[in-house]
Every structure is written in C-alpha cells, then in structure tokens.
C-alpha cells in the first residue's frame, strides 16, 4: 500500500473514533470531522502524485 493510503486510513479511523467517543459537539466538529476529511482527501488524491511524477 502507498503511504498516503495508510495515513488516510489512519486519519479516518482516528476521526471516527474521536467522533464516536466524545460527547462534546464542538470537539467533534473541530477535531473529528477534519481528520476524516483529510484522510479521505489523502486517499482520493493519491493518484495525482503518480501523474505529476510521470510528467517530470
């Protein structure tokens, strides 16, 4: 697996655990949701690095 995928999965899992474990809505929105979004973005944009490297 590529490093971005590993980090993406790890961030999504951490974000979901934080969302599930914390009762405070503000902490969920400030910390949990961005972790899930960043993790998803890492997985979604993993192929962009391959395209950029091919152009060089």
Measured CA distances, 20 to 14, 31, 36, 38, 41 (Å): 10, 12, 12, 18, 21
Question: How does pLDDT run across 3-29, given as a tens digit for each residue?
Answer: 888 999 999 999 999 999 988 889 889
Of 44, 37, 43, residue with least CA distance to 15 = 37
CB atoms within 10 A of CB 8: 22
Given a cut of 90, whether residue 45 has pLDDT beyond it is: no
For the whole prediction, is pTM greater than 0.85? no
Q: Are 47 and 12 in contact (CB under 8 A)?
A: no
């Amino acid at each position: 697996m590529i490093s971005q995928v590993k980090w993406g999965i790890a961030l999504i899992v951490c974000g979901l655990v934080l969302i599930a474990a914390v009762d405070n809505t503000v902490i969920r929105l400030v910390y949990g949701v961005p972790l899930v979004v960043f993790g998803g973005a890492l997985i979604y944009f993993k192929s962009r690095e391959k395209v950029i490297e091919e152009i060089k």
